[in-house]
Amino acid sequence: MKGYRDLSQLVTLAALAKKDGRRPKDSDLSIINDGAVVWDNDKIVWTGPTASIPKEYSNIDWSSLSGHTLTPEIVDSHTHLIFGGDRSKEYSMRLGGADYQEIANAGGGILYTTKATNNSTRDQLFKSAAQRIERIASYGIGTIEIKSGYGLNLEKEIECTEIIHDLKLHFAKRVNIFNTFMAAHAVPKAFTNADHYLDEVVFPALEKLTKKDIVDAADIFHEKGYFDSAATERFFKFCKNLEVPIKSHADEFNDNKGAILAAKYQALSTDHLLCTQADGFEALAASDTVATLLPGTGFFLGKPQANARDLIDSGAKLAIASDFNPGSCHCDNLLMIASLSAPTLRMSLSEIWGAITLNAAHALNLKDQGSIEVGKKPRFSLFKVGQIDQITYSWGRNFAIMKKS
């Protein structure tokens, strides 16, 4: 058995977990000052003030952590961190006024990354992704979702998903990797339409990978010109038949009623939601589907943000993720994105922390973490600060204590 004691603050989020992550209030942070936590292998067995530690735990493997704050583990539930190439020049083009379409026409955008990814070896993709994971872990982020989706052909999409699985095994002791299959990221020009691509690449690849049992969820870019509502619904039905949990990129450029469709098919999460309207908020509030906002993308592209306030107030479960990717958000630091976005999205401290821990875990179907309570997994983030407010107050500064392997 192991334990942390003398923690300046133990932020358990126990009250928020009881509310299923909905409508957080500041008291839902459930802070224990001078707190302690005890765990036995994979389960928390006790939490409380250090002064009240029961005698039966007096001789366990304790670490005394005064001056530190412990929170539920930070989860980045939306990244595209496996890719080849470098798109910094495209960024300069965009600052010069070029839009998404102009960049695509000039050979940039997702199709550039697809080419660079296809030209990268398995070893190169593994190594570059592993470096990115190391850096993300250094911020105190312990669970990371990774999507495939830059192969865009049968062989490379299968290979990228296998590499994500290799990364999962490689980092197993320190970082929990969640493997999302996202061949349905864009429709390559070689295919006549979305259905053609679904039939030739997405469905056969997913079938093969499901047999290997390495896919944790499947995702789709639900948008006009990519995968419209009919194609997205076909994809959802196909995944349901294979019993693969689903996620979607929805309502980013238009209100395609993507949030409503995701909720109808019990998606784990639906992400972006920049154009979602009140009917979408209502559908999410009545569902278990997590509404995941990606404010780093809005910042990086200079676009407006999603309506976090109405989403939270409607009762939806709201998460925030980085969307780390080579094109629209080349920032891997979720905690900084969350700090920066709090005033813009008008989110409180408890709403921000719920969005990057408990609700982000729910977006990955991880119901046994996200709060520090008896029976849950001992998945924590540890910071060298005396109180939780200081972490996001000093935005961009890294207070995390790295996990030992």
The 313-342 site mask, x for binding Zn ion (CB under 5 A), equals: ----------x-------------------
How far lies 32's CA from each of 21, 93, 259, in Å? 19, 49, 37
Q: Which one, 12 or 143, has the nearer CB to Zn ion?
A: 143
CB of 163 to Zn ion, least distance (A): 18
CB of 164 to Zn ion, least distance (A): 15
Which is nearest to 14 in space by CA: 32, 33, 28? Answer: 28
**Which amino acid type is present at position 99?**
D
- Residues β-bridged to residue 61: 2
Q: Which one, 100 or 399, has the nearer CB to Zn ion?
A: 100
Q: Which one, 108 or 149, has the nearer CB to Zn ion?
A: 149
**Dihedral sign of CA atoms 128, 122, 176, 258 in order:** positive
CB of 284 to Zn ion, least distance (A): 18
CB of 234 to Zn ion, least distance (A): 20
Q: Which one, 90 or 323, has the nearer CB to Zn ion?
A: 323
CB of 219 to Zn ion, least distance (A): 8
Q: Which one, 177 or 372, has the nearer CB to Zn ion?
A: 177
CB of 342 to Zn ion, least distance (A): 21
Restricting to residues 248-287, which ones interact with Zn ion according to CB under 5 A?
none
- Residues β-bridged to residue 48: 36
Distance CA 162, CA 147 (A): 11
Q: Which one, 28 or 76, has the nearer CB to Zn ion?
A: 76
What's the DSSP call for residue 141? E
Which is nearest to 391 in space by CA: 81, 74, 45? Answer: 74
Task: Say how many residues touch Zn ion, by CB under 5 A.
Answer: 1
CB of 252 to Zn ion, least distance (A): 9
Residue 49 · residue 9 · CB < 8 Å? no
Compute CA 347 distance to the chain's CA centroid, rounded to the nearest angstrom.
18
Closest-by-Cβ residue to Zn ion is 323
What does the radius of gyration of the chain's CA atoms come to, in whole angstroms? 21
Q: Which two tokens stand for residue 288?
A: 């278990």
CB of 251 to Zn ion, least distance (A): 13
Q: Which one, 341 or 350, has the nearer CB to Zn ion?
A: 341
Query: Which spans in 53-202 are helix H?
Result: 88-95, 100-105, 110-118, 122-137, 154-170, 194-197
Q: Which one, 323 or 332, has the nearer CB to Zn ion?
A: 323
Residue 208 · residue 201 · CB < 8 Å? no
Secondary structure (3-state) at 109: coil
In the complex, which residues of this chain contact Zn ion (CB under 5 A)? 323
